[in-house]
Amino acid sequence: MKLVETPFEGLFIIQPQIFSDSRGYFFESYSAEKFKTLGLNIEFVQDNESFSTHGVIRGLHYQLAPHSQAKLVRAVKGTIIDVAVDVRKNSPTFGKHFAYELNDITKEMLLIPRGFAHGFSVLSDVAIVNYKCDRLYECEAERGIRFNDPSLAIDWKVNNDKVIVSAKDNVLPLLHDIEANFVHGGCY
């Protein structure tokens, strides 16, 4: 398992070691021991999975502290653009986003620290996305940012006429109007 740094503090790409032969493949998608060896002391408590079709955009979601969640995201099937937006006040990357393609070929994962909003778009016909969270879902703490906020200028790589967004996500506030109580200075 290899840890690849991004320009965002605490946000990492995880590249698993894949073993392939005539039967197929095998890889560890998560190992607490290997994460600790990489300096990542995260205890995941919940696994989530979603199925979506081409053009679906989910997000951008986060939970307020103390319910904020670190997430380990991967595409089990298909291809997505996974997006993390830094909403940690006083962070040098506050209000900036990181977008990365995750797919079922490379099996790379994105480790998103607390204090980031998260979302993804589906580029393949269908996608199954799995993500581990280090805190449980808390409805009252749930917040978000509108996916098409012009200040973020995220390229979701989906034609506008093909975008499918939930009614709830379509009315989320813009970045400058969000409620966020994260302070820069710690990743997890």
Domain-embedded: residue 87: yes
User: pLDDT digit string (tens) for 104-130?
Assistant: 999 999 999 999 999 999 999 999 999
Domain-embedded: residue 22: no
In this structure, what token pair is assigned to residue 176?
């400058």
- Tell me, what CATH number does 177's domain have? 2.60.120.10
Domain-embedded: residue 137: yes
Assess whether pLDDT exceeds 50 at residue 22.
yes
Domain-embedded: residue 28: no
Per the structure, the complete domain to which residue 120 belongs is given by 2-16+42-183
Which residues participate in catalysis according to the annotation? 61, 131
Domain-embedded: residue 84: yes
Domain-embedded: residue 124: yes
The pLDDT assigned to 181 comes to: 87
The total domain count for the chain is 1
With a CB cutoff of 8 Å and minimum separation 6, the contacts of 59 are 83, 117, 118, 119, 120, 144, 145, 147, 169
